[in-house]
Amino acid sequence: MLVAHNIKKTFSSDNKDIPVLNGISLNLKDGDFTSIVGRSGSGKTTLLNVLSTLVRPDRGELTYHGRNLTTAPESQLDQLRRSDFAVIFQFHHLLPYLTVLENTLLPFMSNLKPVGRKMEKKALECLDRVGIADKARRLPGNLSGGEQQRVAIARALVKSAKILFADEPTGSLDKATGETIMELLVGLNGEGLSIIMVTHETEYAALAGRTIEIEDGSLVQ
Amino acid sequence: MNLFTIPLKNMRRKPTKTGLLLLVFSVGVMSVVALYQVSLVVGLSLEQKLTAFGANIVVKPSTEKLSVSYGGFHMGDMLLDAKDLQEAETTAAIRSIALSDRISIVAPKLVTMVKTNEAAVALVGVRWEEELALKSYWAAADGTFPQRSGEILLGSLAARKLGIAAGDTLDLFAREYKVSGTLLETGSDDDSVILMGLGELQEMLGQPGAISFVEVAALCAGCPIEDIVAQVRNNLPKTSVIALQNVVNQRMSSIRFVQKLAVMISLVIMVTASAMVGLSMLSSVNERTKDIGILRSLGYGKSRVFMIFCLEAAFIGSLAGGIGYLAGYGASLKTLDLLTMTDGVVPIFSIVHLAICAAVFPLITILSTLYPAWRGASVEPSRALVSL
């Protein structure tokens, strides 16, 4: 369970403080599919980044299964992102010089110890699961936007992530590809993967069990 | 697939950039290796040439000198227990020290006094081959150096004192000797003496094999003169072995100058090459902010990001170290060939040196990458994600 309490975040620009999150509190249960909607600049992505521990809040508390993540050392947050949390972005999800398979196994390549055959097999299974196992040896540059997004999802699957944070996962895709990706996400959620998705599209937001709307850094509902 | 895969594949992605960086650093290493090899060879060669300008060690019998006065009269210095050395035994002992390869010339001498033409002059017996090698600065003012038995050479002052010149004869120990030539003034003791073959003088004095002292020219580059002296002393315990420190220091200062110059130039080259690596890595960090963002979002800690940049630098350094050593060795051969001053000394190719280059230069590239790598590792995921 991921709980955010009174989260505040301010960014500085040209010596001016710009409040982005103004005391957001929310409770995300295991297995939930939550969509975060709102206009551009409302603070959706910042909230997602705070929840995924990529950005530390200025104030408030974030806990994951009772562990206070706000005060946790960076190494623990790194570890959490290596194991339980997975993040996918609208663009540039993959390192362009690594193959699809290597990008999928990237979370396990942070050590000098080589990734084992077993893990490679699992990565291929995950790629198969998202329908691109045949492109495992290709570089991301040879894949379509939808295929690249699938690789990012496969990367979340291979490490058995508990929560998938998706920032506009269909934002750069055509309608048909976007729908396929959404079907995939809904299917994975059905298998127990918690998903927190930022989106502009109300049609996709409606597929989530819960929708949170943000306006000027505060929750609307 | 492991952490090495990321920097290796990134280097392969940009072959031109990687190639140029490798080229720059390899040229740096090549220059350093070539300078080192050339300075080493030139140093040795220079020392061999300087050796021709005299000895730097003197071996003489161990004696005790007493200043004697009696009844108010000063009777001068008296040598106690003064015994001549034996030539064969002494020269063999000098030539057989552990550092014998550093012994260039061994020139034994027998000195006596003689009265001829109404004047007292010192007569010195020498081995012509060694003496001429040791004193290549000698030049005959007139005549030639002695070619055969029965010929002598006069110092300029001795010739004046005796009133004779090249082609004249001189009686020594009731035997007539031909003056083959006289020396141009040297400013040394050689100006005041008569020089003749050592064997003839030993025979004339009835002292076969006897010598008064030995002058030694030792090559001091690579080992201190004190070591050579200590080893000679060890082989000849009953003698006095003296290092002519001023001569040694003068020679070594010339060689050290060449070596210091090479070190200074090498430092400048390495600092420049390292700066190039550092700058390239810094631009690489800026270019790869997105990659850093992805890695950080996947749980790569700061230390891992830092390590990725350092590993990349280490690959460049290691490759450049190996390539640079081989190229530097080749360049030193070519340079020395062009300089025509090796005098038989050649650069040394060593697998150990090659391995050292491949191990040490990565450390230099890593050092020059520390700041860029730290910058990369310090990029906050949130800042990196802005570009995603």
Mean pLDDT of B57-81: 74
Interface test with A, best of B10, B287, B294 (most A CBs within 10 A): B294
pLDDT at B223: 61
- Is residue A100 within 8 A of residue A132, CB to CB? The reply is yes
Q: Which residue has better confidence, A66 or B249?
A: A66
Answer for the pair B196, B123: CB distance below 8 angstroms, yes or no: yes
Chain B neighbors of A95, CB-CB under 8 A: 6, 291, 294-295
Angle of helix A145-158 relative to helix A117-129, nearest 10 degrees? 130
Among candidates B277, B124, B279, which has minimal Cα distance to B189?
A: B124
- All residues of chain B having their beta carbon less than 8 Å from the beta carbon of residue A111 are 2-3
Partners of residue B9 in chain A, C-beta under 8 Å: 97-98, 102
- pLDDT level of residue B47 (50, 70, 90 thresholds): low
Decide if A79 and B299 are in contact by the 8 Å CB cutoff: yes
CB-CB neighbours of B256 under 10 Å: 14
Distance from CA of A7 to the nearest CA of B (A): 16
B286 has a pLDDT exceeding 80 = yes
**B169 three-class SS:** strand
Q: Has this prediction a pTM greater than 0.90?
A: no
Q: Which of residues 279-308 of B touch A (CB under 8 A)?
A: 290-291, 294-302, 304
State pLDDT tens for residues B217-262.
887 765 677 888 899 999 998 888 888 766 666 666 777 777 788 8
Per-residue pLDDT tens digits for B29-42: 998 898 888 888 87
Query: CB distance from B95 to chain A under 8 Å?
Result: no
Tens of pLDDT, residues B12-25: 888 888 898 899 88
Answer whether residue A41 shows pLDDT above 90. no
**Closest residue on chain B to A107 (Cα):** B298
> What pLDDT score does A173 carry?
79
- Those of residues 93-132 in A touching chain B at CB distance below 8 A are 93-98, 102, 105-115, 120
Contacts of B387 in chain A (CB under 8 A): 92
User: Residues of B with CB below 8 A from A85's CB?
Assistant: 299
Q: Which has the higher per-residue pLDDT, B44 or A211?
A: A211
User: Residue A60: its pLDDT value, please?
Assistant: 94
Q: What is the mean pLDDT of chain B?
A: 85
Which alpha helices (H) appear in chain B, and where do they start and end?
A: 5-13, 15-51, 87-95, 128-134, 156-162, 198-205, 225-235, 245-287, 289-297, 302-339, 351-378, 381-386
Given pLDDT bands bounded at 50, 70 and 90, which one contains residue B276?
confident
DSSP character string of B208-226:
TTEESEEEEEE--TTS-HH
- Taking contacts as CB-CB distances below 8 angstroms, the residues of chain A near B6 are 95, 98, 109
Tens digit of each residue's pLDDT (9 = 90 or more) over B302-355: 999 999 999 999 999 999 999 999 999 999 888 888 876 666 667 788 889 889
ipTM of the complex: 0.88
The per-residue pLDDT for B83 is 80
Please indicate whether, in this complex, the C-beta atoms of B2 and A113 are within 8 angstroms of each other. Answer: yes
Least confident of A81-90, B73-82, B93-102, B240-249: B73-82
Closest by Cβ to A112, choosing from B3, B13, B291: B3
First to last CA, chain B: 25
Region A59-86 average pLDDT? 92
Report the C-alpha gap between B272 and B274 in whole angstroms: 5
Confidence band for B92, pLDDT divided at 50, 70 and 90: very high
φ, ψ of residue A42 in degrees (nearest 5): -80, -15
